[in-house]
A = this chain, B = another copy of it.
Amino acid sequence: MTRKHIDATLVRLGAVMSAAIAVYFMLGQGSPAYAGVAEETTFVLNTFSFLIWGVLVMWMCAGFTMLESGCVRTKNVSVICLKNIGLYAIASLAYFFIGYNLMYVGVAENGGWVGSFNLFYSSSEAERQLLSGSVEDPSDVISNGYSTMSDWFFQMVFVATTASIISGTLAERVRLYSFFLFVLVLTALIYPIVGAWTWGGGWLSERGFQDFAGSTIVHSTGGWAALAGAILLGARRGKFRQDGTVKPMPPSNVPIVTLGVFILWLGWFGFNGGSQLALGSAVDVIAISNILVNTNIAAASGVIAALLVSKPVLGRTDLVATLNGAIAGLVSITAGPDIVDHQWAVLIGAVGGLIAVFGTLLLDKLKIDDVVGAIPAHLFAGIWGTLAVCIAAGGNIGVQLIGVVAIGAFVFVASFIVWFVINLVMGLRISEQAESLGQDVVELGIEAYPEFIAVPDEEER
């Protein structure tokens, strides 16, 4: 049973039951306690839910773009913009050409490890007949619970999110086309395989692995792939000085970093809310209400926790750490935003915020250069969130650990190999000269802010 199929079945049962109850009362067999949602209405609402929340998730790509283009130095801003719009386009097409089938179609038949290798994905035959008018009775279509392509749309925007995480970590030094090639493999193969194990109904799903909207499946997957790349690529030139100190490379445009975080926060309501996968019943919409509230509370707690520790731990009230605290709070709650007690969301988000701050220090210690702090916020907080589900809502900690480790090992090793091969074939890293002059001038021939006179970097002084 897959994320979507399980839900389709539940949705179907729910709709039939409430329709039956409603009809029962309407026909005078009892007093009409309430009229349930009609099956077709449920179908409409579930489908619309995928679409409208999916649109908000798509918007997260703009959030990552603003966050990342504000965080890098001015000389690399245009390239990061291109990487972000490019990765969304690649993810859209790769998931259409093969990714979705690999993740959701026939996973059980393939032993729970991977879906089918068919090309393309499209509306069900029943839907096409209904649209063309050759069939008039929509009951076959309605029994699916939602329209085929609305689910594709919602799953597709998740793939893009995964890819967005990576562009931030590796900014300012990875070659444009090498990055695009990695994104192609990630979105066509690596992510769909992880998805097949879990939401596709594969072996981890069978064992009861819980990850509601993807703390591990989306965010840690992105984080592991970024970590593999960061290790192979090495740090930006001059980042870790010979004397052991770390050269600050502050954001070049703070308000758009902040805008990016607000966009992500907004988009996360779609990310988590839409992951209820249904809207057409009282139970579903109550669940979505709780999910949005928990999502918001966890993010707020992440902000406050990161803000409060930044002064004692980092030596200053740190805006970037605080913003990253919001993201870490959001990632942390993502594995279980449907848990009911909102007090838990306060705790889960706050710990997430702390993880973002201390994780950043850890990476500096390890001399791993993560331009936007994506590894702490998405990978570390993602692991925490996946385990925190058990604390808050009583899952199986062993299964959660197996999921975290198995997905982590697979994604890290697969990504490492892909990065390694790309490095051999076409090179991963831009030249020293390109790093000094900036990717914008060297790879694109433009500057992001050509009319402003810039302070020369210390190395150029």
Contact = CB atoms under 8 A, between A and B. Distances in A.
A139 B297 CA distance: 29
A13 B152 CA distance: 30
Interface in A311-348: 316-320, 322-323, 326, 340-343, 346
Interface in A120-161: 120-123, 127-128, 130-132, 137-139, 141-143, 147-150, 152-153, 156
Q: Which of A52, A66, A121, A266 neighbours the largest number of chain B CB atoms within 10 Å of its CB?
A: A52
Interface residues of A, number: 141
Contact of A289 (B18, B51, B120): B51
A176 interface: yes
Nearest to A298: B92
A62 B454 contact: no
Interface of A: 18-20, 22-23, 26-28, 32-41, 43-45, 47-48, 50-52, 54-56, 58-59, 61-62, 65-66, 69-70, 73-74, 77-78, 81-82, 84-86, 88-90, 92-93, 96, 120-123, 127-128, 130-132, 137-139, 141-143, 147-150, 152-153, 156, 176, 250-259, 261-263, 265-266, 269, 273, 279-290, 292-293, 296-297, 299-301, 303-304, 307, 316-320, 322-323, 326, 340-343, 346, 440, 443-455
Given A74-B451, A77-B254, A89-B301, 15 more contacts: A23-B35, A34-B138, A43-B282, A45-B48, A55-B292, A77-B255, A81-B257, A89-B300, A92-B296, A93-B304, A123-B290, A132-B340, A149-B292, A256-B259, A451-B455
A7 B2 CA distance: 37
Q: Which of A18, A262, A283, A299 neighbours the largest number of chain B CB atoms within 10 Å of its CB?
A: A262
A304 to B, nearest CB: 5
Nearest to A440: B254
A41 B37 contact: yes
Given A131-B340, A147-B285, A317-B82, A255 B453 contact: no
A258 B82 CA distance: 8
A78 B22 CA distance: 56
Contacts of A250: 446-447, 450
A125 B449 CA distance: 55
Contact of A22 (B38, B252, B255): B38
B44 A131 contact: no
Tell me how many chains of this kind the complex includes.
3
A354 B19 CA distance: 51
B262 A61 contact: yes
A343 B120 contact: yes
A293 B154 CA distance: 10
Nearest to A288: B51
Contacts of A44: 37, 45, 279-282, 284-285
B176 A317 contact: yes
